[in-house]
Amino acid sequence: MARKRNELAQHRLPNLESVHTGSRFTVHAGIQRHGSTTAFILNIARLVGCLALLCASVAKLLTWTKESWHKGWYWMLRDPEIYITCTYLYALVLASVGLLSRRRGPLASSYLTWLLLTNVCVFGYRDVWPLATFNQEPADMSEGFFLWIKLGVLASTALLPPLFLI
């Protein structure tokens, strides 16, 4: 009987103060796991940037017209925006794992860095390099000003955290 009482005493729910203190220590443990407050904030900013890129890519997919949908699935698979959306979804998963996982976080963070740097190179070749020539136009010029917002978010998400975390 006394043994059961001891087991029940160990499984009691904590009071409200200890729950609040526990959540503060979780954030503190996350900061310690990343090494510094700056690294933790940059990883959160990276997660937010990946989420913004995914939302922008999904918004571009939602602008397809009915005529586009009736052309068939083969036509939709030829549109690179689907693959960009999948890439940003994968980047969001990697950013989440890098932020939350203790064991796989550093590996996911390095994969995310290379994935985003590859995206910067691809968009630089497609959209920035033609501006340096006399006879070419950016491939995604139809997006207008929205393209430059996406490139700015991508560049700040891909380039700034590795520069500050080295």
Domain ranges of the chain: 35-165
Give whichever of 11-15, 20-24, 145-149 has the largest mean pLDDT.
145-149
DSSP string, 27-86: HHHHHHHHSSHHHHHHHHHHHHHHHHHHHHHHHHHTT--HHHHHT-HHHHHT-HHHHHHH
Q: How confident is the model at residue 87 (pLDDT cuts 50, 70, 90)?
A: very high
Q: Round to whole Å and give the CA distance between 152 and 18.
A: 43
Q: How confident is the model at residue 120 (pLDDT cuts 50, 70, 90)?
A: very high
Residue 153: name the closest of 99, 107, 88 by CA. Answer: 88
Residue 46: name the closest of 136, 129, 108, 126 by CA. Answer: 108
Mean pLDDT in residue range 14-23? 42
Mean pLDDT of the chain: 78
Q: How confident is the model at residue 68 (pLDDT cuts 50, 70, 90)?
A: low
Q: How confident is the model at residue 4 (pLDDT cuts 50, 70, 90)?
A: low
Residue 80 pLDDT > 50, yes or no?
Answer: yes
Residue 81 pLDDT > 90, yes or no?
Answer: no
Residue 72 pLDDT > 80, yes or no?
Answer: no
Residue 89 pLDDT > 60, yes or no?
Answer: yes
Q: How confident is the model at residue 13 (pLDDT cuts 50, 70, 90)?
A: very low
